[in-house]
Amino acid sequence: MRIVRADVIVTSPSRNFVTLKITADDGVTGLGDATLNGRELAVAAYLRDHVVPLLVGKDPARIEDTWQFLYRSAYWRRGPVTMAAIAAVDMALWDIKGKVANLPLYQLLGGACRTGLRAYGHASGASLPELFDSIREHMAAGYTAIRVQTAIPGLGAVYGVAASAASAGAGGERYDYDPAQRGAQPAEEAWDTSAYLRHVPTVFEAVRGEFGPELPLLHDGHHRMTPIQAARLGKVLEPYDLFWLEDCTPAENQEALRLVRQHTITPLAIGEVFNTIWDFQTLIREQLIDYVRAAVTHFGGVSPLKKLVDYAAQYQVRSGFHGPTDISPVGMAAQLHLGLAIHNFGIQEYMPPSAAASAVFRHAFAFVGGYLHPGDVPGLGVELDEAAAGQYPYQQAYLPYARLRDGTVHDW
């Protein structure tokens, strides 16, 4: 069997997606997600100009060898663009292997360790009543775990807080539907960490008051605190028994988490912007985190993400794979197969794809009663409707960025 062609498909059904489609000489095809929010075309070019020419003629069955070839022969390793490109190839080859074996991917990864994957959804509000309504909406939709993000008094738009329907984004979709906003320039948001640190504990106190002690609650600090600020927030949130506090501080400096861990027992999740196992090594080896947040699309694919969770398992660290709308249905499918097959599964983030995206990416995975299942279709279980994809040309879009009151650029 030989790869005869590989196509890079860029489409924008409510948001931009980059997909690699590999075709083998017997006509079997495989899909891979290469979507890097706000930098999509960089990965598309990396694939088109540098990777696709190297794939044609290769044996699609040699997944690990192809991964090592793409990672090592590039000489320039790691980084979000490179690893998203390699991820797409890896996913597509696993898709082909599943179709050839006539098995869903999770069966090739060792079979199911559970009947479904518990998911968490994104509730948010500009006020407590709006937040409570959003939590109820998500519970009514089946979610049994809820991420809580809230507006901050004195600040305008902040990460994760849906614009109510009235002031929704250009497509009429909720703000938290996708943080990347179409346009030629990124939106600037004001940020004030002290105001945030004063407000968030009051919100979790109110949510626990309203919904009781059992509902698993998650919160995303979205990389905005210094280590000591993160330690403080983790500590004051302890009475509200969070499932996790995510990305509490930028973790390029992994040692920074030692200070956080020293001061709080609130479980910590990190890693959605990480691209290789090296980014996690100290965090896992020193038990500085409890969940790995890597996503298959940004971590180089199924093959390295499996190695990461196997390493994490030695330290009782569990998976919490990143699953916002900028992970395409192809990427979501791939990590659901992996999540079903691993023992140390923790929880799966799930922002449902839009109706337009689901029409372009017809997917076998399903969300029922708060749990996800990848389906039992051979391979990943996603078919790309290229005619439909052609209806949605790429549109420039950027993630917002943040500035402090004195104008300093801050982590968004």
Q: How far is 51 from 369, CA to CA, in rounded Å?
A: 40
DSSP type of residue 400: -
When asked if residue 349 is in the footprint of Mg ion (CB under 5 A), the reply is no
159 is catalytic: yes
When asked if residue 290 is in the footprint of Mg ion (CB under 5 A), the reply is no
When asked if residue 173 is in the footprint of ligand CS2 (CB under 6 A), the reply is no
Q: Total residues at the site for ligand CS2 (CB under 6 A)? A: 10
Q: Which of residues 217-236 bind Mg ion (CB under 5 A)?
A: 220
β-strand pairing of 188-191 with 401-404: parallel
Minimum Å gap between C-beta 386 and Mg ion is 31
CA neighbor of 33 nearest in space, from 377, 360, 400: 360
Contact partners, residue 195, CB within 8 Å, separation at least 6: 152, 153, 154, 155
Q: List the alpha helices (DSSP H) in 39-79.
A: 40-45, 52-55, 63-73
Identity of the residue, 192 or 349, whose beta carbon is nearer to Mg ion in the bound complex: 349
When asked if residue 221 is in the footprint of ligand CS2 (CB under 6 A), the reply is no
Q: 19 - beta bridge partners?
A: 9, 33
Helix axes 227-236, 193-211, angle to 10 degrees: 20
When asked if residue 95 is in the footprint of ligand CS2 (CB under 6 A), the reply is no
When asked if residue 370 is in the footprint of ligand CS2 (CB under 6 A), the reply is no
Minimum Å gap between C-beta 349 and Mg ion is 8
When asked if residue 324 is in the footprint of ligand CS2 (CB under 6 A), the reply is yes
Q: How far is 135 from 288, CA to CA, in rounded Å?
A: 30
Contact partners, residue 407, CB within 8 Å, separation at least 6: none
Neighbours of 53 (CB within 10 A): 10
Q: How far is 252 from 271, CA to CA, in rounded Å?
A: 10
Neighbours of 163 (CB within 10 A): 16
Residue 192: name its binding partner from ligand CS2, Mg ion, none (Cβ under 5 to 8 Å by kind).
Answer: none
Stretch that binds ligand CS2, among 137-145, 207-215, 322-330, 384-392 (CB under 6 A): 322-330
Active-site annotation holder among 46, 106, 143, 159: 159
Residue 125: name its binding partner from ligand CS2, Mg ion, none (Cβ under 5 to 8 Å by kind).
Answer: none
When asked if residue 220 is in the footprint of ligand CS2 (CB under 6 A), the reply is yes
Identity of the residue, 55 or 119, whose beta carbon is nearer to Mg ion in the bound complex: 119
Burial (CB count within 10 angstroms: exposed 0-12, middle 13-18, buried 19+), residue 121: buried
75 is catalytic: no
Stretch that binds ligand CS2, among 24-32, 90-98, 111-119, 319-327 (CB under 6 A): 319-327
When asked if residue 275 is in the footprint of ligand CS2 (CB under 6 A), the reply is no
Which residue, judged by CB position, is nearest to ligand CS2 in the bound state? 37
Catalytic positions = 159, 222
Which positions touch ligand CS2 (CB under 6 A)?
37, 179, 220, 222, 272, 322, 324, 326, 349, 399
